[in-house]
Amino acid sequence: MLHLILFSVFAVIAVAGALNLLVQRHPISSALSLIVVMGSLAVEYLLLGAEFVAAIQVIIYAGAIMVLFVFVIMLLNAGVEERTKGSKVALILGFPAMLVGGLLVAWVLLRAPNVGSVNVGAMYGPPKAIGWLLFHDFLLPFEVTSVLVLIAIMGAVVLASPVRSRFSRPQPEPERQALKAAAGTEPAHEETVTARRSS
Amino acid sequence: MPGAISQWFSAGDYLLALPMILLSIFALGILLIDLMLPPEWKSINAWTAGIGLAFSTAAVIRIHLAYARAGQGVLSYTGFMGSMMVDRFAIYFFYLFLVGAGIAILMSAHYLEIERENHGEFYALILFSVVGMMCMAAGFDIVLIFIGLELMAISTYVLVGFLRSDRRSNEAALKYLLLGAFSSGIFAYGLSLLYGLTGSTNLQLIGEHLATHMRENPHDPIAILALVTTSTGLFFKIAAIPFHQWAPDAYEGAPTSITGFMSVAVKAAGWAMLLRIFLSGLYPMRPIYVPLLVFVAIATMTGANLAALTQNNLKRLLAYSSIAHVGYMLLGLIAGSSTTPSATGIQGILVYLLVYTFMNLGAFAVITSLRRRDVIGDEIDDIAGLITRAPAEAVLMLIFLLSLAGIPPLAGFYGKYFIFLSLIETGHYQLAAVAVLYAVFGLYYYMRIANAMFMRKAVDTRPVTLSPAMATALAITGIATVGIGIFPDLFIRAAGWSLSIAQPLQLTSLFH
């Protein structure tokens, strides 16, 4: 019974943290609410008997990743988010639809007969069982995940690197000299953006 | 080998993953080599990617040979503790992905130079997305399928936004990313419900547990919720109406060669995943999902064909046409009785995906070749009078368009033929009639392009120049479109060979 009460309390805290994350206008407040979400999720894992996952959740998500988040936000000196006048349709239709959808799913799940839980392996979540799953049963998905992370990093670099960087094709040498002499600065691709692009 | 799964990994496991491993190695190689290349030598990246695809194809052929040696009885090899199943179905799709990626690379080489975005990352991303597609086609565990899907999707998001100085490309990438992430979330929710219902992530075990579950409790709301959310995610990935809104924008904004790649290889991967999940994991729920499919198929054919009628942008028009083709293909899955799918229908989908790969890539290759420094070349006006500017291209484009419309004796006819045949065989006469009606609509908007090419005067009279790579791409797609139409036998048999997925009875007997 105590389990159920604690579980419900932390579930409410997690959802409240997530809502606060969306409502807050300063990025630091949002990041701190995310820490609340991560922390209460860790407690949920612990209550479900997955000690190892709970510890990892605290160390990696609530610890390392969130520190990085806060660090980057501080570094970029991100200001307060400006409110735009969001779409009316989203306000009028979106929220009630979400509410109805959520209630429907909750109703279906609560009404279902013999709802139970599935254990990880023979025991709850000790490191050995998780390691066995990760490096034996799910070895291939685990390896593919590493490629996935690489892609994500590479994609961010490709999309975020400045357009006129070392990547772009340099001007032919004489032309470059002439342009340099004329403008006194590094030449850029003036004609890159085509005339009809803007249309 | 079919039989007991060993507790330890063996060489066989790694052989099954070899096509993916080789592609990953070459993609990483491109990333490293690209750093050392001077800008004038960037075309080496395209060559490296091509060689990587060739090596990967060789690995697929090696697995294919293993089947040939094992004889008729062997239908599937599983590896990595049952998380991967390279059956004939998966091999068929492997070939499809490799061909699609190869032609897309041929189309890209010169195009990227025009766009001044010729970076190695482009080719690396294409190869990585093929790795993701292979995971989707060969995944027999929902974890692997989902990670493969994300790998493919994230690579594609970046590729769509690759033209960083083009606002349309940026917008398309952002829209695609947001909607794609949303749909992945819904899909993952459905998969987690399936796991909760059956206690397993293996598709075969999910199927078995679900079968007993459905017998005891035929209208379990959780099972239906799981089915609806999972299929929402799947319909999103193949861009079926009402989950298609991302497609026209993403197709229009993406680099043209990537639009071609997305419309064939990415879509084929979505189909591989959809067929795998519907036919092996969710097959006990077929009586429930068929009405869902009927609704989606009719909505897709109606919406896409009507929307395509009024488009003036070629890429947008072909985007709607590709949505419409998804509608026809869905009919192949509907065909059959309420408990078993029709083998002809599944074969029709496979044939359709094959011919669609060639004819659609061909049409996009023609559009790509219209791009110049100062002309984007994707409006219907840009293709006007193509017959005077580039007669060979205009004739090829006409062939691709007629094939897309399904006119015999071109390849596209056989795709539609099998789908309609399966519908009529299993008594879905109304659906067949509706589909034929919409095929006529299709003819109208394809002929609009043809009309512009042949009847109207050219706005821009400069002749179109083709790079050697683009000429190769056009030749391959053109020959394949005509060739499959004239000698369909070989390809139909290839699709029939890969039908290991069609019968649920066969599926349950795979492991023992």
Residue B310 lies in a domain: yes
Could you give the maximum distance between any two Cα atoms of chain B, in Å?
70
How close A70 comes to chain B (CA, Å)? 23
Minimum CA–CA partner of B120 in chain A = A167
- Measured between its terminal Cα atoms, the distance across chain A in Å is 65
Are B180 and B246 a contacting pair, CB within 8 Å?
yes
Q: Which of A148, A149, A150, A191 to mutate to test the interface with B (most CBs of B within 10 A)?
A: A148
Q: How far is CA B159 from CA B33, B164, B209, B378, in A?
A: 20, 10, 40, 18
d(CA B512, CA B508): 8
Long-range contacts, B103-106 (Cβ 8 Å, 24+): B103/B260, B103/B357, B103/B361, B103/B365, B103/B473, B103/B476, B103/B477, B104/B257, B104/B258, B104/B260, B104/B261, B104/B265, B104/B361, B105/B46, B105/B49, B105/B50, B105/B53, B106/B469, B106/B470, B106/B472, B106/B473, B106/B476
How close A138 comes to chain B (CA, Å)? 7
**Between chain A and chain B, how many beta carbons pairs sit less than 8 Å apart?**
111
Look at phi and psi of residue B116 and say left if phi exceeds 0, alpha if psi is from -120 to 50, else beta: left
A154 and B125 within 8 Å at the Cβ level: the answer is yes
Does pTM surpass 0.80?
yes
Residue B6 lies in a domain: no
d(CA B368, CA B465): 11
B374 and A105 within 8 Å at the Cβ level: the answer is no
Beta-ladder partners of B139 = B84
How close A118 comes to chain B (CA, Å)? 6
B225 and A113 within 8 Å at the Cβ level: the answer is no
Residue B403 lies in a domain: yes
- Specify the DSSP element, H or E, that contains B208: helix B203-216
Chain B environment of A195 (Cβ under 8 Å):
374
Q: Is the pLDDT of residue A183 over 60?
A: no
Q: Does B39 touch chain A (CB under 8 A)?
A: yes
Q: Does B460 touch chain A (CB under 8 A)?
A: no
B253-312: per-residue pLDDT in tens?
999 999 999 999 999 999 999 999 998 888 888 889 999 999 999 999 999 999 999 888
pLDDT value at position B10? 80
Chain A environment of B131 (Cβ under 8 Å):
144, 147
Minimum CA–CA partner of A161 in chain B = B164
Chain A environment of B376 (Cβ under 8 Å):
194, 196-197
* Pick from B17, B161, B221: CB nearest A159: B161
Chain B environment of A109 (Cβ under 8 Å):
222, 225
How close B374 comes to chain A (CA, Å)? 5
Residue B96 lies in a domain: yes
Q: What is the pLDDT along chain B (512 residues), one digit of tens a residue?
A: 344 455 778 888 888 999 999 999 999 999 999 989 888 888 899 999 999 999 999 999 999 888 888 776 677 788 888 888 888 889 999 999 999 999 999 999 888 888 888 888 999 999 999 999 999 999 999 999 999 999 999 999 999 999 888 888 999 999 999 999 999 999 999 999 998 888 888 898 898 888 888 888 888 888 889 999 999 999 999 999 888 889 999 999 999 999 999 999 999 999 999 999 998 888 888 889 999 999 999 999 999 999 999 888 999 999 999 999 999 999 999 988 877 888 888 889 999 999 999 999 999 999 998 888 777 778 888 888 888 888 888 999 999 999 999 888 899 899 899 999 999 988 889 999 999 999 988 899 999 999 988 888 887 777 888 889 999 999 999 999 999 999 988 888 888 888 765 454 344 333 33
Minimum CA–CA partner of A120 in chain B = B199
Are B367 and B315 a contacting pair, CB within 8 Å?
yes
- Specify the DSSP element, H or E, that contains B89: helix B88-115
pLDDT value at position A171? 45
Chain A environment of B374 (Cβ under 8 Å):
194-196
Neighbour-count burial of B53, counting CB atoms closer than 10 A to its CB (0-12 exposed, 13-18 middle, 19+ buried): buried
**Residues of the domain holding B355:** 11-511
Instruction: Measure the CA angle with vertex B325, ends B331 and B322; round to 5°.
Output: 150
Residue B380 lies in a domain: yes
Are B225 and B168 a contacting pair, CB within 8 Å?
no
Could you tell me which residues come within 8 angstroms of residue B257 by beta carbon, excluding any fewer than 6 positions away? B104, B107, B108, B111, B364, B365, B368
Could you tell me which residues come within 8 angstroms of residue B316 by beta carbon, excluding any fewer than 6 positions away? B248, B251, B252
Q: Could you say which residues from 140 to 159 on chain B have a Cβ atom under 8 Å away from some Cβ of chain A?
A: 141, 143-144, 147-148, 150-151, 154-155, 157-158
B17 and A140 within 8 Å at the Cβ level: the answer is yes
d(CA B90, CA B175): 30
Domains of chain A are: 1-124 (1.20.120.1200)
B144 and A141 within 8 Å at the Cβ level: the answer is yes
Q: Is the pLDDT of residue A175 over 60?
A: no
d(CA B384, CA B379): 9
Q: Could you say which residues from 488 to 507 on chain B have a Cβ atom under 8 Å away from some Cβ of chain A?
A: none
Alpha helices in A48-94 (DSSP H): 51-56, 66-76, 88-89
* Pick from B39, B83, B167: CB nearest A169: B39
> Does the CA dihedral B469-B474-B479-B485 come out positive or negative?
positive
Half-sphere exposure of B483 (CA within 13 A, CB side): 10
Minimum CA–CA partner of A118 in chain B = B199
A141 and B376 within 8 Å at the Cβ level: the answer is no
B162 and A158 within 8 Å at the Cβ level: the answer is yes
How close A75 comes to chain B (CA, Å)? 25
* Pick from B83, B128, B148: CB nearest A138: B83
A158 and B119 within 8 Å at the Cβ level: the answer is yes
Residue B3 lies in a domain: no
B35-71: per-residue pLDDT in tens?
898 888 888 999 999 999 999 999 999 998 888 887 7
For chain A, what is the mean pLDDT? Answer: 77
Q: Which of A184, A167, A166, A168 is nearest to A176 (CA)?
A: A184
Q: Which of A105, A118, A144 to mutate to test the interface with B (most CBs of B within 10 A)?
A: A144
B151 and A151 within 8 Å at the Cβ level: the answer is yes
Q: Could you say which residues from 377 to 436 on chain B have a Cβ atom under 8 Å away from some Cβ of chain A?
A: none
B154 and A148 within 8 Å at the Cβ level: the answer is yes
d(CA B247, CA B76): 34
A141 and B147 within 8 Å at the Cβ level: the answer is yes
What is the total count of domains within chain B?
1
* Pick from B124, B151, B164: CB nearest A144: B151
- Measured between its terminal Cα atoms, the distance across chain B in Å is 10
Minimum CA–CA partner of A167 in chain B = B119
Residue B438 lies in a domain: yes
pLDDT confidence of A118, banded at 50, 70, 90?
A: low
Q: Which of B23, B314, B161, B289 is nearest to A159 (CA)?
A: B161
d(CA B184, CA B503): 28
3-state secondary structure (DSSP) of residue A133: helix
A56-67: per-residue pLDDT in tens?
999 998 889 888
Chain B environment of A151 (Cβ under 8 Å):
125, 128, 151, 154-155, 158
Q: Fill in the DSSP letter of residue B283.
A: G
